Amino acid sequence: MTIDISQLTLEQKASLLSGRDFWSTKEIAEAGVASVVLTDGPHGIRRQAGDADHLGIHDSLPSTCFPPAVAIGSSWDRDLARTVGGAVGEEGVAFGVSVVLGPGVNIKRSPLCGRNFEYYSEDPHLSGVLGAAHVTGLQAAGPGASVKHFAVNNQETERMRVSADVDERTLREVYLPAFERVVIDAAPSTVMCSYNKINGVYASRDRWLLTDVLRGDWGFGGAVVSDWGAVSDRVDSVRAGMDLEMPGGDGSTDAQIVAAVREGRLDEALVDASVRRVLELTMLPHEATGQLDVEGHHAVARRAAAESIVLLKNDGVLPLPTGSRIAVVGAFATQPRYQGGGSSHINPTRVDVALDEIRALAHAQGSTVIAEPGFSLDADEDPAWGAAAVSAAGAADVAVVFAGLSDREESEGFDRTTLTLPDAQVGLIRAVAATGTPTVVVLSNGGVVSLEGWHDEVAGIVEAWLLGQAGGGAIADVLFGVVNPSGHLAETIPLRLEDNPSWLSFPGEQGHVRYSEGIFVGYRYYSTAGVAVRYPFGHGLSYTTFGTDGMEAVVTGDDTVTVTATVSNRGEVAGKHVVQVYVATTAGPVRRPLRELRAFEKVALEPGESRQVELRMDRRAFAYWDIEQGGWVVAAGEYTVQVCADASTVLAEQTVTLVGDSLVRELTMESTVGDWFGHPVVGPALMAGLASAMTPEQALQAEQNPDGLKMVESMPMQQFLVFTNGAIPVEVLEQLLELSKTPAPVV
* Contact positions vs ligand BGC (CB under 6 A): 40-41, 54, 101, 148, 227-228, 343
Catalytic residues: 227
Edge to edge, the sheet with strand 163-165 lists 201-202, 197-198, 163-165, 512-514
Beta carbon of residue 262, minimum distance to ligand BGC (angstroms, whole number)? 32
Please identify, using beta-carbon distances, which residue of 101 and 138 lies nearer to ligand BGC. 101
Please identify, using beta-carbon distances, which residue of 342 and 494 lies nearer to ligand BGC. 342
Burial class of 65 by CB neighbour count within 10 A (0 to 12, 13 to 18, 19+): buried
Could you tell me if residue 598 is left (phi over 0), alpha (psi between -120 and 50 degrees) or otherwise beta? alpha
Q: How many CB atoms lie within 10 A of CB 9?
A: 11
Please state whether beta strands 649-658 and 637-646 pair in parallel, antiparallel, or not at all (unpaired). Answer: antiparallel
- Assess contact for 520 and 541: CB atoms under 8 A: no
- Assess contact for 147 and 191: CB atoms under 8 A: yes
Distances (CA, A) of 665 to 220, 348, 662, 675, 740: 31, 58, 9, 10, 6
- Assess contact for 271 and 253: CB atoms under 8 A: no
Give the 3-state secondary structure percentages of the chain, helix then strand then coil, rounded to 5. 35, 20, 45
Long-range residue pairs from 363-366, CB within 8 A, at least 24 positions apart, any chain:
365/320, 365/322, 365/323, 365/480, 366/322, 366/323
- Assess contact for 365 and 479: CB atoms under 8 A: no
- Assess contact for 137 and 89: CB atoms under 8 A: yes
Distances (CA, A) of 491 to 75, 303, 370, 464, 646: 12, 22, 34, 14, 11
CA distance 279 to 221: 13
Q: How many CB atoms lie within 10 A of CB 68?
A: 30
CA distance 136 to 131: 9
* Helix residue ranges per DSSP H, 371-512: 383-394, 423-434, 471-479
Q: Which residues pair with 19 in a beta bridge?
A: 25
- Assess contact for 415 and 118: CB atoms under 8 A: no
* End-to-end CA separation in angstroms for the chain: 54
Distances (CA, A) of 388 to 378, 394, 510: 19, 10, 49
Which one, of 167, 164, 146, lies nearest residue 155 by Cα? 164
Beta carbon of residue 451, minimum distance to ligand BGC (angstroms, whole number)? 30
Edge to edge, the sheet with strand 190-193 lists 38-40, 99-104, 144-150, 190-193, 223-226
Residue nearest to ligand BGC (CB): 54
Chain-centroid distance of CA 587 in Å reads 26
- Assess contact for 738 and 730: CB atoms under 8 A: no
CA distance 510 to 649: 40
DSSP character for 411? Answer: B
CA distance 291 to 100: 17
DSSP character for 242? Answer: -
CA distance 547 to 567: 5
DSSP character for 169? Answer: H
Beta carbon of residue 56, minimum distance to ligand BGC (angstroms, whole number)? 8
Q: Give the up-direction half-sphere exposure of residue 228: CA atoms within 13 A in the CB hemisphere.
A: 17
Crossing angle (nearest 10°) for helices 294-308 and 78-94? 150
Residue 25 has phi, psi (to 5 degrees) of -95, 170
